């Protein structure tokens, strides 16, 4: 059941220990949490190892076992560093157990890992996920240790501590002969069913006698006959530590199923075993035992969860009485509810399970397993009927549970995890008190403050979680789904030395002490690094000596790098600490030092509130990571007074003025400049600054990302408003119209609107493949702005070389990112049919003139096989000339090609049959896509027709004539349509008895008789068939072929040596 648990197979051993031979493992993002207020360490659950954790904690808190194990040194056990040496004798299991015990006693972490220990067992990850029986594990682990310790001074460790003897006696009633059989035991198994408690079960086993009488007689060896006799059992030898396993699981033979006994079964804290022993003449102290560990099983017979109540014999933990009311009342209520109610709300159960998980999310299947362990019953059995499937239930509560995108993992949303922990414990369990009374690196541990109660105290060790409990809480484990499963007693005579009390370092070997000290030092270092990383903030200090104030904002007089000093500081430090740190950095600073919050704006650096209150923490005053702080005297910078605060934020406005219109020139020109004003500036002040000679101001409220709006005039009554109150922000534009420009303004519906020039923006992105390729700029334009002007403005804004103007063009970008045909540079925005706000690409290549066409073309209609290419041709070029240019660019030759338009299905459509016609005459437009198609078009007045032969059907029905068969296949004609531009189809068509005969070229004015003769005669010569004339033989093909798409398909149908066309 436990795989290779006790074979000393070195291939499974991990070298992941402190010191040499350290095995590298992925470093976790954060170091393990320190111990909580109990000062005891839990053990991590590897998925299903709660039974192992409970047993290991029991052995750890058995001081005599722990010290006997520690007494075995490297000279007897070897070392883990030698485990890879082929000739070395290394006893892996006791070495890993020693190391785990040292970690649990000394390593300052909330929970230790048993990975190395289980690897020494030879367990796979699958084995770690399976839950086993703790009683069986106890026996097998003891057997493994005995085997591993053969040949050492600890060879009798298990027998010395746990071995006892039971003697079974049968006494003959006639000759009084006594027949006895002796049995060794390491643990006693006692019945639970039908028994009130442990004392009654021991009485039934070792006091009550069984009688052989009537039909059930005993054959006496001395009398050599069947006689009456009595049978009894006694404890002959008592071990120092008595392990008792309770038979909680039984089998119901009527229902043929296992079940768990949940009835009341009491056990005492102290027990006198004298009545059950063979020898009773010794002192009572020889028979007195004290309970020190109770392994508890919670669940049913097919699964559940183990944890352990342990009495802290050496008083290693901190047991605090004030937690009694805070932490345990809720646990009591939960236990009582779980044991008394058969059904309950699953929401709280699932939240409780997920809140205990260290990982943010666990697999849904693992959640179901943990529910089974916690409640002793599966989801399907207890909740599915009322609440549906588990995964569906989780999906129906998205406000609480967070599922992964594939729905296979689930976790609690952070807010609910925190709330649940606060509610369940009365305090924030995620932030336990940083209390650590053990001086880990000292040679001797000073005494710690103890609780006021005398005697040893009990703790509940539940995997990683450790919490104090009261002794009377043991009574709750007498019965119910959560009840005692194994009991561990120690002789009352066993007394601990005073130096062991409260001293976790007692009897630990020196090499393990050194290893744990080094590990604790490393842990503290990692925690300090993590703490610094999580609480450290980077501040950007701007020094006033490196700045000057102009145009409404602060600007560095040197480069940005030289004007800013970066400082990293703990957010929990005070403002006074920050000020002192700045003073130390700036040794030459003289006079007062004022620290102000700063923020980079489009206009420059602006200052806000002064940081005040040296006793306040940086986090408390709102200093965040990456904050900008300005260091100055609080009055002026470079002799200029600086206004601070949000009421004086500088705003960058784009100021547009209409330029003089050049006579005969195309398009409307205007000048553009940027001005900075305080947001508290009134419109009257703005008007005086921008239009001192008079005129009107219009605004367009769209900023850098806004959409264009109508231009609105600021009226006389608006002049008292401020820049901020009228909605002017960074990037907004204002238009200044002088008196001679005001003819463009009209009053409409009480609102003044400038409508003649709809000034807005076009976006231009650099696609030239040079530096700053991804940069995008906005260019102010009107519908009358010429494209060449827009291109030049974009080149300047993108800071490109102006020589690029002769080698580039502007191309609109479609919604899916495709570059469309270039816009002629002499077009206006209106002529180019561009919408304001459109995105243009600045691309290499000259733009076509207004008399040229920019065309796309491909060879064949399959876009996957032939990439789309581009070409610029004159609109007066003929179809043949255009075709030759396309063939030349695609590297093709020959005259067996023609051009077709691309239809709406992105397939080759109408052929450009008039090869001498110009592209303009055929209405070929800029941006059209043409297809270069293989095959020569028929001459003018001729048609090229594909011919199919429908062969006789082998499935002719009785009484079916030829016409019926013809009618029966007409519904299949859609599948036989073949474009004249397409490649030749397959010679045969599976399932339709069709055979492709080829294409013929015939005049459009030819009769059906001519078509018949031209189609059938070659076929007749090949196959030797005769031909029957069609009705209406003088009908012209031109009219007949118009009946089915642009090009018809003719079929020859053979039946009884005749052909029919349809």
Q: Which residues are catalytic?
A: 50, 305
Rounded CA separation 719/691 (Å) = 13
Contact 490, 289 (CB under 8 A): yes
Q: Locate tokens 């100021």: which residue?
A: 655
| Helix (H), strand (E), coil (C) string for 156-204 | CHHHHHHCEEEEEEEEECCCCCEEEEEEEECCEEEECCCCCEHHHHHHH
Alpha-helix residue ranges (DSSP H) falling in 536-609: 560-563, 575-585
Q: What angle do CA 364, 368, 372 make, to 5 degrees?
A: 165
DSSP 289: E
The torsion of the CA quartet 53, 56, 61, 65, rounded to 10 degrees, works out to: 180
H or E element at residue 792: helix 787-797
Contact 48, 131 (CB under 8 A): yes
Q: Locate tokens 């594939």: which residue?
A: 406
Contact 483, 248 (CB under 8 A): yes
Contact 488, 293 (CB under 8 A): yes
Task: Give the residue from 736, 768, 538, 555 showing the smallest Cα distance to 654.
Answer: 736
DSSP assignment string, 953-1011 = PS-PPTT--HHHHHHHHGGGGGGG---TTSPP--SEETTTTEEEEEEEEEETT-BHHHH
Rounded CA separation 823/854 (Å) = 9
User: How many residues are given for the chain?
Assistant: 1062
DSSP assignment string, 486-520 = EEEEEETT----GGGTT-TTTT--HHHHHHHHHHH
Task: Give the residue from 668, 667, 830, 671 showing the smallest Cα distance to 735.
Answer: 671
Rounded CA separation 116/56 (Å) = 14
Token readout for 393 is 């239930």
Rounded CA separation 359/411 (Å) = 8
DSSP assignment string, 29-85 = SSPPPPP-TT---EE---SS-HHHHHHHHHHHT-HHHHHHHHT--HHHH--GGGTTS
Token readout for 595 is 């620290």
Q: Locate tokens 């006893």: which residue?
A: 91
| Distance set, CA 141 to CA 5, 121, 1015 (Å) | 8, 10, 94
| Distance set, CA 313 to CA 294, 503, 878, 1058 (Å) | 14, 11, 105, 112
Q: Locate tokens 């309950």: which residue?
A: 344
DSSP 8: -
How far is C-alpha 207 from the chain's CA centre?
A: 64
Half-sphere exposure of residue 897, counting CA atoms within 13 Å on the CB side?
Answer: 23
Task: Give the residue from 801, 781, 160, 32 showing the smallest Cα distance to 491.
Answer: 160
DSSP assignment string, 840-893 = EEEEESPPPPTTEEEEEEEESS-TTTS--EEEEEETT-BHHHHHHHHHHHHT--
Q: What angle do CA 861, 867, 870 make, to 5 degrees?
A: 100
Contact 485, 244 (CB under 8 A): no
How far is C-alpha 29 from the chain's CA centre?
A: 15
């Amino acid at each position: 059941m436990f795989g290779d648990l006790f074979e000393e197979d070195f291939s499974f051993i991990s070298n992941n220990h402190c010191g040499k031979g350290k095995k590298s493992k992925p470093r976790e993002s954060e170091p393990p949490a320190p111990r909580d207020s109990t000062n005891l360490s839990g053990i991590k659950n590897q998925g299903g190892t709660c039974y192992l954790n409970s047993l290991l904690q029991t052995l750890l808190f058995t001081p005599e076992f722990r010290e006997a194990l520690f007494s075995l040194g490297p000279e007897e056990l070897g070392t883990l560093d030698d485990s890879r040496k082929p000739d070395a004798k290394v006893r892996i299991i006791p070495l890993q157990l020693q190391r785990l015990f040292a970690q649990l006693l000394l390593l300052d972490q909330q929970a230790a890992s048993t990975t190395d220990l289980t690897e020494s067992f030879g367990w796979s990850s699958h084995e770690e996920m399976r839950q086993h029986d703790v009683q069986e594990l106890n026996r097998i682990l003891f057997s493994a240790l005995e085997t591993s310790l053969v040949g050492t001074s600890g060879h009798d460790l298990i027998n010395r501590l746990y071995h006892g003897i039971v003697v079974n006696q049968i006494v003959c009633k006639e000759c009084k002969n006594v027949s006895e059989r002796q049995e060794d035991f390491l643990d006693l198994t006692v019945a639970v069913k039908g028994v009130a408690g442990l004392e009654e079960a021991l009485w039934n086993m070792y006091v009550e006698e069984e009688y052989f009488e009537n039909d059930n007689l005993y054959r006496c060896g001395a009398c050599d006959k069947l006689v009456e006799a009595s049978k009894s059992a006694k404890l002959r030898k008592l071990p120092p530590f008595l392990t008792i396993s309770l038979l909680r699981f039984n089998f119901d033979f009527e229902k043929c199923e296992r079940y768990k006994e949940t009835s009341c079964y009491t056990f005492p804290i102290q027990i006198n075993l004298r009545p059950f022993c063979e020898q009773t003449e010794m002192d009572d102290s020889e028979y007195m035992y004290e309970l020190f560990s109770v392994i508890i099983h919670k669940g049913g017979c097919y699964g559940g969860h183990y944890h352990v109540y342990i009495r802290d014999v050496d008083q290693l933990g901190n047991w605090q009485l004030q937690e009694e009311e805070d932490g345990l009342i809720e646990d009591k209520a939960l236990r009582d509810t779980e044991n008394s109610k058969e059904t309950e709300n699953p929401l709280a159960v699932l939240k409780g399970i997920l809140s205990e998980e260290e990982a943010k999310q666990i697999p849904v299947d693992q959640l179901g397993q943990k529910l089974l362990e916690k409640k002793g019953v599966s989801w399907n059995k207890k909740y599915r009927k009322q609440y549906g499937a588990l995964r569906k239930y989780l999906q129906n509560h998205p406000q609480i549970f967070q599922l992964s995108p594939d729905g296979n993992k689930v976790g609690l949303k952070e807010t609910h995890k925190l709330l649940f922990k606060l509610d369940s414990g009365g305090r924030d369990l995620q932030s336990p008190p940083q209390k650590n009374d053990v001086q880990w690196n000292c040679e001797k541990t000073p005494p710690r403050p103890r609780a006021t109660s005398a005697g040893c105290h009990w703790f509940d060790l539940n995997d990683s979680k450790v919490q104090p409990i009261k002794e009377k809480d043991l009574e709750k484990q007498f019965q119910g789904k959560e009840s005692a499963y194994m009991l561990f007693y120690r002789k009352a005579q066993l007394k601990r030395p005073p130096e062991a009390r409260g001293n976790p370092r007692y009897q630990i070997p020196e090499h393990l002490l050194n290893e744990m000290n080094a590990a604790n030092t490393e842990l503290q270092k990692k925690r300090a690094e993590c703490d610094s990383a999580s609480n450290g903030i980077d501040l950007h200090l701007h020094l006033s000596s490196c700045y000057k104030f102009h145009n409404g904002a602060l600007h560095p007089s040197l480069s940005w790098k030289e004007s800013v000093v970066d400082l990293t500081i703990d957010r929990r430090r005070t403002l006074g600490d920050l000020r002192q740190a700045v003073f130390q950095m700036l040794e030459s600073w003289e006079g007062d030092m004022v620290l102000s919050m700063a923020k980079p704006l489009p206009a420059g650096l602006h200052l806000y509130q002064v940081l005040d209150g040296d006793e306040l923490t940086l986090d408390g005053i709102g200093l965040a990571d990456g904050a900008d702080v300005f260091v100055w005297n609080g009055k002026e910078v470079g002799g200029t007074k600086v206004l601070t605060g949000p009421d004086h934020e500088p705003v960058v406005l784009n100021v547009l003025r209409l330029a003089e219109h050049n006579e005969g020139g195309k398009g409307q020109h205007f000048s553009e400049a940027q001005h900075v004003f305080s947001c508290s500036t009134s419109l009257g002040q703005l008007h005086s600054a921008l239009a001192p000679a008079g005129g009107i101001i219009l605004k367009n409220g769209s900023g850098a990302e806004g959409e264009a709006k109508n231009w609105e005039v600021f009226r006389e009554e608006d002049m008292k408003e401020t820049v901020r109150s009228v909605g002017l922000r960074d990037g907004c534009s204002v238009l200044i119209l002088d008196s001679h420009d005001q003819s463009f303004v009209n009053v409409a519906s009480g609102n003044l609107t400038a409508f003649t020039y709809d000034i807005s923006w076009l976006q231009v992105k650099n696609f030239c493949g040079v530096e700053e390729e991804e940069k995008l700029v906005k260019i102010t334009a009107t519908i009358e702005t010429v494209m060449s002007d827009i291109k030049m403005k974009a080149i300047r804004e993108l800071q490109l070389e102006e020589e690029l103007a002769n080698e580039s063009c502007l191309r609109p970008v479609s919604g899916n990112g495709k570059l469309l045909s270039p816009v002629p540079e002499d077009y206006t925005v209106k002529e180019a049919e561009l919408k304001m706000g459109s995105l243009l690409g600045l691309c290499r290549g000259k733009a076509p003139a207004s008399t040229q066409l920019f065309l796309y073309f491909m060879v064949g209609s399959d876009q996957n096989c032939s990439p789309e290419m581009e070409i610029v041709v004159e609109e007066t070029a003929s179809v043949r000339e255009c075709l030759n240019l396309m063939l030349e660019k695609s590297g093709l030759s020959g005259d067996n090609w023609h051009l077709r338009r691309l239809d709406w299905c992105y397939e080759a459509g109408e052929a450009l049959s008039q090869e001498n016609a110009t592209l303009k005459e055929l209405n070929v437009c800029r941006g059209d896509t043409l297809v270069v198609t293989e095959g020569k078009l028929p001459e003018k007045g001729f048609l090229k027709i594909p011919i199919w032969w429908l062969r006789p059907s082998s499935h002719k029905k009785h009484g079916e004539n030829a016409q019926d068969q013809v009618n029966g296949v007409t519904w299949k004609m859609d599948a036989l349509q073949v474009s004249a531009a397409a490649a030749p189809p397959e010679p045969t068509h599976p399932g339709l008895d069709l055979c492709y005969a080829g294409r013929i070229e015939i005049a459009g004015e030819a009769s059906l008789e001519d078509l018949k003769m031209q189609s059938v005669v070659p076929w007749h010569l090949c196959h030797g068939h005769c031909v029957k004339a069609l009705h209406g033989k003088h009908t012209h093909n031109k009219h007949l072929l118009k009946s089915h798409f642009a090009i018809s398909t003719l079929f020859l149908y053979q039946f009884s040596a005749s052909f029919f066309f349809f």
